[in-house]
């Protein structure tokens, strides 16, 4: 089981990494080809439709995994109705997006409206693709998506190269509007290829077709609504500080605060998204154990998941503390780290929000206990409280202490989320934290940090030298963590052989 969880998680992380790598080159091509205004329009269209897609998504990816994991024989029925529900939701929302765009300055030109039409079709296929992926995830066969998503992204990239260098070369074309639309069509073709490949593979697992069981679709909608609302609130309390900074500070100061604050928050948000892959990978097993009332299986899975998540959080926090300056220097300018210009810098924020990430990894595990056991209403109530706490805290502290205290409020909010998640999840299934395991992780991380600091003082490593040393130490660190993770299993096997 843990082998499948690991392979599913690694496949999704690799696909994210490879598509991000291709996207870097894609951005380079587009920024050189399109004017600044047109490139801004390109991003603006996708961001605009992403807002509406969030409502059409309804959190059905995670709910689908849970429902299929409860009864694999119903997979075709579940996915067929999820696809139809998403399609109907999108048809309603797409009309709303066009109507709103028609009255919005900057969105109501002929080019923008037609672009919204193209990207709306892109979003439909993205939602349908997500439905198919939830089926593959439920059966722990998500590895194929590594090929399909990368292949689709490569097709997108090659088609854009065709537009930019052959169909509408920059030095010859006068019709950038047509070229712009062709670039959007290239993105659409890429996601269609991705969807078709996943659909072909998923049909080997279960027959997939659109189904319109309106009674069951109603059940899916009502079931997913509390989870979607909880997701929405989690987005709010992570984004509301940016909005409040813009409202509670002067325009000049707000621009500086938002720039210095949002950079480290973006780093944390990317890591949060990636780590959702692991949690979605354990959800089928967690749901199955709950359905079978297998408390020992649940405790075993949660215990090992906690150990892994805690070790990873310690690892990332330590790496962030060690290399915060280097990371920020690579992705920003020296101004973001300049204490002569600003009292607090992006590095100060990054140190705080790395701790946010550490608590998030564990609290997210509690969230998935609520999902697997159909207790989303508890998650919703917790998120309502955390969102209100976050908003009130930011309103109190931002006017006096600016963005640095926005980071502290986010940290306290995440700590409360962790404590509330732990308290209520224990009412569902009782499990204790492995105290010795936690203690040894912290001690080991502290030893590595101290040794690194001393060696840097003595040898004055270059950046490469620091990374080489840390890489070697972390290899040993992970070897010990893996041994600790499987200590009980190894001990039991040795005991059985002695008997």
Q: What is the DSSP letter of 40?
A: H
pLDDT in tens, 371-409: 888 888 898 999 999 999 999 999 999 888 888 989 999
Question: What is the Cα–Cα distance from 359 to 356, expressed in whole angstroms?
Answer: 5
CA–CA separation, 29 vs 179, rounded Å? 13
Task: State how far the Cα of 93 lies from the Cα of 389, in Å rounded to an integer.
Answer: 31
Q: How many domains does the chain have?
A: 3
Give the pLDDT score at 439: 81
What is the reported pLDDT for 481? Answer: 58
Mean pLDDT, residues 243-271 taken together: 82
- d(Cα 114, Cα 120) in Å, to the nearest integer? 10
285 Cβ contact partners less than 8 Å away, ≥ 6 residues apart? 1, 5, 69, 297, 301
What percent of the chain is predicted at pLDDT more than 70? 90
What pLDDT is stored for residue 386 in this prediction?
A: 93
Sorted by sequence, the CB contacts under 8 Å of residue 46 that are 6+ apart come out as: 119
Q: Which two tokens stand for residue 447?
A: 């030893």
Name which of 162, 209, 211 is nearest 182 in CA terms. 162
Residues 87 and 208 in one domain: yes
Domain end residue (candidates: 433, 460, 479):
433
Single out the residue in 433, 456, 475 at which a domain terminates. Answer: 433
The confidence score (pLDDT) of residue 334 equals 81
Short-list 33, 39, 36, 89, CA closest to 60: 89
The reply to whether 217 falls in a domain is no
Task: Specify the pLDDT at position 316.
Answer: 80
Please tell me whether residues 244 and 351 are part of one structural domain. yes
Q: Are residues 6 and 46 in the same domain?
A: yes
Same-domain check for residues 43 and 72:
yes
325, 337 contact by CB (below 8 A): yes
User: Taking Cα atoms as reference points, which of 233, 243, 19 lies closest to residue 145?
Assistant: 19
Best mean pLDDT range from 296-305, 411-420, 436-445, 464-473: 411-420
Q: Which two tokens stand for residue 169?
A: 């070369």
pLDDT at 498: 44
Q: What is the CA radius of gyration of the chain?
A: 24
Segments forming the whole domain that contains residue 491: 435-498
Is 376 inside a domain boundary? yes
Burial of 456 (0-12, 13-18, 19+ CB in 10 A): middle
Please, what is the Cα angle at 220 between 214 and 225, to 5 degrees? 125
Provide the pLDDT confidence category of residue 497 given band limits of 50, 70 and 90.
very low
pLDDT, residue 328, reads 80
- How much is the mean pLDDT over the chain? 83
**Percent of the chain predicted with pLDDT > 90:** 27
Tell me whether residue 311 is in a domain.
yes
131 and 13 within one domain = yes
Candidates 428, 58, 363; CA nearest to 226 is 58
**Would you say 317 and 354 are in contact if contact means Cβ atoms under 8 Å apart?**
yes
Can you give the pLDDT at residue 192?
Answer: 96
Task: Among 433, 455, 471, identify where a domain stops.
Answer: 433
Q: What average pLDDT does this structure show over 449-466?
A: 68
> What span, in angstroms and rounded, lies between the C-alpha atoms of 154 and 21?
11
DSSP label of 206: S
Same domain? For 461 and 449 the reply is yes
- Ranked by mean pLDDT, the top range of 39-48, 190-199, 355-364, 454-463 is 190-199
Domain membership flag for residue 220: no
Give the residue from 139, 140, 135 showing the smallest Cα distance to 195: 135
- Which of 301-305, 362-366, 390-394, 488-492 comes out lowest in average pLDDT? 488-492
Please write the tens of the pLDDT for every residue from 195-225: 999 999 999 999 999 999 999 999 999 989 9
Pair (113, 251) in one structural domain: no
pLDDT band, very low/low/confident/very high, at 464 (cuts 50, 70, 90): low
pLDDT level of residue 466 (50, 70, 90 thresholds): low
At residue 249, the pLDDT reads 86
Distance (Å) of CA 259 to CA 247, 255, 333? 15, 6, 11
pLDDT attached to residue 395? 92
Kindly state whether residues 456 and 351 are assigned to the same domain: no
Q: pLDDT: is 125 or 6 the higher one?
A: 125
Residue 87 lies in a domain: yes
Q: Contact, 12 vs 142, CB < 8 A?
A: yes
With cut-offs at 50, 70 and 90, classify the pLDDT of residue 6: low
- Could you give the CA distance from residue 360 to residue 411 in angstroms, rounded to a whole number? 10
Are 245 and 365 part of one and the same domain? yes
399: number of Cβ within 10 Å: 12
Using CA atoms in the order 420, 421, 426, 428, what is the torsion angle rounded to 10 degrees?
120
* pLDDT tens digits, 361-372: 888 888 888 888
Tell whether 336 and 484 lie within a shared domain: no
Task: Rank 90-94, 325-329, 350-354, 438-442 by mean pLDDT and report only the highest.
Answer: 350-354
* 52: pLDDT strictly greater than 90: no
- Do residues 407 and 361 both lie within one domain? yes
pLDDT of 129 reads 94
Sequence-distant (≥ 6) Cβ neighbours of residue 499 within 8 angstroms: none
Question: Residue 184 falls within a domain, yes or no?
Answer: yes
Domain membership of residue 219 (yes or no) is no
The overall pTM is greater than 0.75:
yes
Together in a domain, 374 and 487: no
Q: Cα angle at 395 between 390 and 396, to 5 degrees?
A: 100
Q: What is the DSSP letter of 170?
A: T
């Amino acid at each position: 089981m843990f082998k499948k969880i690991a392979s599913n998680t690694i496949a999704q992380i690799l696909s994210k990494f490879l598509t991000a790598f291709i996207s870097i080159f894609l951005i380079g091509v587009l920024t050189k080809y399109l004017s600044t205004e047109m490139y801004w329009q390109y991003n603006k269209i996708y961001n605009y439709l992403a807002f509406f897609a969030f409502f059409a998504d309804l959190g059905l990816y995670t709910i689908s995994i849970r429902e299929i994991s409860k009864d694999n024989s119903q997979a075709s029925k579940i996915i067929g109705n999820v696809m139809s529900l998403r399609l109907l939701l999108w048809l309603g929302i797409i009309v709303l997006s066009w109507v709103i765009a028609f009255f919005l300055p900057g969105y109501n030109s002929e080019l923008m409206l037609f672009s919204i039409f193209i990207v709306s079709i892109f979003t439909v296929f993205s939602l349908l693709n997500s439905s198919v992926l939830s089926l593959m995830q439920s059966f722990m066969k998500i590895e194929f998506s590594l090929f399909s998503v990368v292949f689709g992204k490569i097709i997108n990239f090659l088609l854009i190269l065709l537009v930019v260098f052959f169909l509408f070369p920059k030095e010859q074309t006068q019709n950038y509007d047509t070229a712009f639309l062709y670039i959007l069509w290239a993105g659409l073709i890429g996601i269609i290829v991705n969807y078709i490949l996943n659909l072909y593979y998923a049909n080997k697992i279960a027959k997939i077709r659109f189904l319109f069981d309106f009674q069951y679709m109603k059940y899916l909608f009502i079931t997913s609504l509390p989870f979607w609302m909880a997701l929405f609130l989690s987005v709010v309390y992570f984004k509301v500080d940016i909005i409040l900074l813009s409202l509670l500070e002067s325009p000049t100061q707000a621009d500086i605060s938002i720039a210095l604050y949002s950079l480290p928050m973006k780093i944390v948000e990317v890591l949060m998204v990636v780590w959702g892959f692991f949690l979605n990978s354990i959800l089928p097993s967690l749901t199955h154990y709950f359905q079978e009332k297998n408390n020992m299986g649940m405790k075993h899975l949660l215990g090992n998941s906690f150990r892994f998540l805690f070790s990873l959080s310690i690892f990332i926090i330590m790496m962030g503390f060690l290399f915060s300056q280097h990371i920020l220097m690579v992705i920003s300018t020296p101004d973001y780290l300049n204490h002569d210009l600003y009292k607090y810098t992006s590095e100060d924020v990054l140190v705080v929000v790395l701790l946010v990430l550490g608590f998030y990894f564990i609290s997210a595990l509690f969230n998935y206990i609520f999902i697997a056991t159909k207790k989303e209403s508890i998650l919703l109530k917790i998120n309502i409280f955390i969102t209100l706490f976050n908003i009130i805290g930011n309103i109190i502290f931002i006017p006096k202490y600016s963005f640095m205290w926005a980071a502290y409020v986010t940290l306290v909010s995440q700590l409360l989320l962790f404590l509330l998640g732990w308290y209520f999840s224990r009412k569902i299934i009782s499990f204790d934290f492995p105290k010795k395991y936690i203690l040894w992780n912290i001690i080991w991380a502290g030893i590595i940090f101290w040794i690194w600091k001393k060696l840097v003082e003595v040898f004055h490593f270059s950046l490469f030298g620091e990374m080489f040393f840390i890489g070697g130490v972390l290899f040993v660190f992970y070897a010990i963590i893996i041994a600790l993770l499987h200590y009980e299993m190894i001990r039991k096997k040795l005991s059985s052989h002695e008997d």
